[in-house]
Amino acid sequence: MVKVQEFIQRFEQFAPRYLAEKGDPTGMQIGNTQQPIHRVLVTLDVRPEVVQEAIAKKVDFIFAHHPVVFHPAKNLVTDNPQNAMYAQLLRHHIAVYSAHTNLDNANGGMNDWLAQRLALKQVHLLQPSYQRQLKKLVTYVPAANAAAMRHALAAAGAGRLGAYSAASFSSAGTGRFTPDATAQPFIGKNNQPSQVAETKIEVIFPDNLTSQVLTAMFQTHPYQEPAYDLFTLENAKGEQFGLGRIGEPQQKMTVQEFAQFTRKAFNVTGLRLISHHPQQIVKRVAVIGGDGGKFYPQVLQQQADVFVTGDVYYHTAHDMLAAGLSVVDPGHHIESIVKEKAVPLFEKWAKAAGWTNITFMPSELNTDPFTFIS
């Protein structure tokens, strides 16, 4: 049986909360972290109609991109529709977790999903803002226990290298030791020299996972006193994180054509194009999900000629035009891609962790507040 806290711990290996922008209300927002979960609804927004959908589907956990509590409640009077929604969630024991800008900044998260939908190539971070130091653990186990150790370390988050997981290196050797009279040896006898065929296992992991990786090693290791080495890697650049992505279009298009391509890619009925040069050929595209207009100076620094983001303000649009930047604004709701991308990701984690009796489902509702009319 999976508890809310267990799911959160797994998710925050992927998108740690420290990646969130300052002041962003990311994390557990409503409910009990020790509550078992069986049915999970994935949504962009938590609105009254989404809560009713969750109740109808007997959901006990909502995973949302946008926080349900953006601003602290001044009171709990349920005449207020927002407070009434909180009451409904609590009444039906539905816990809510929101992953906002930490999911935006995570590698393989929101902005990578948007870049994929735009079919960009040669994609890299728009603005690196955090670098995570890497460590290496080396331990030695009896050959018969090597597979179990590799599995446990991978489950704790070790061995993730870019798009690869469960990466490790093993080599065979001989371990030698003499248990004293007080020892309780797994192999060998007290006061007698012993030797055993051992496997040396090496894994790399980000330093924020040190505690859980070591815990997994100690819990899995059969020896009373495991031997291990722990190194900080000074010769390897740690994993970088940051807001936004920049890349190149797959095919030759003008700004006008790229805007039409974006509209179709995100299946929106309309969007806003901000450009003095609609016939210019697009060479570099930057994308930031949500409201990213304030980051346009960084987009210019990276020499992008088209910027895809939502909620561009009137005066900011004038500044963008003056700087020679073309902008495609398909709206904030394109982040609903979370429903499509997160469900299979969570199902993959559940299978790897042996979580049973848990179902993940996307919300079927469109929570975009805007309708385009002509």
CA distance 69 to 235: 42
Is 333 known to sit in a ligand binding site?
no
Cross-strand partners of 230: 137
SS (H, E, C) the chain: CEEHHHHHHHHHHHCCHHHCCCCCCCEEEECCCCCEECEEEEECCCCHHHHHHHHHCCCCEEEECCCCCCCCCCCCCCCCHHHHHHHHHHHCCCEEEECCHHHHHCCCCHHHHHHHHCCCEEEEEEEEEEEECEEEEEEEEEHHHHHHHHHHHHHCCCCCECCECCCCEEEEEEEEECCCCCCCCCCCCCCCCEEEEEEEEEEEEEHHHHHHHHHHHHHHCCCCCCCEEEEECCCCCCEEEEEEEEEECCCCCEHHHHHHHHHHHCCCCCCEEECCCCCCECCCEEEEEEECHHHHHHHHHCCCCEEEEECCCHHHHHHHHHCCCEEEECCHHHHHHHHHHHHHHHHHHHHHHCCCCCEEEECCCCCCCCCCCC
Cross-strand partners of 39: 359
Query: Residue holding tokens 């060479």?
Result: 283
Is 66 known to sit in a ligand binding site?
yes
With contact defined as beta carbons under 8 Å apart, do 36 and 3 qualify? yes
Is 100 known to sit in a ligand binding site?
no
The encoded tokens of residue 363 equal: 């919300």
CA distance 100 to 138: 35
Annotated binding site: 65-66, 104, 332, 335
Q: Annotated binding residues for a divalent metal cation, as ranges? A: 65-66, 104, 332, 335
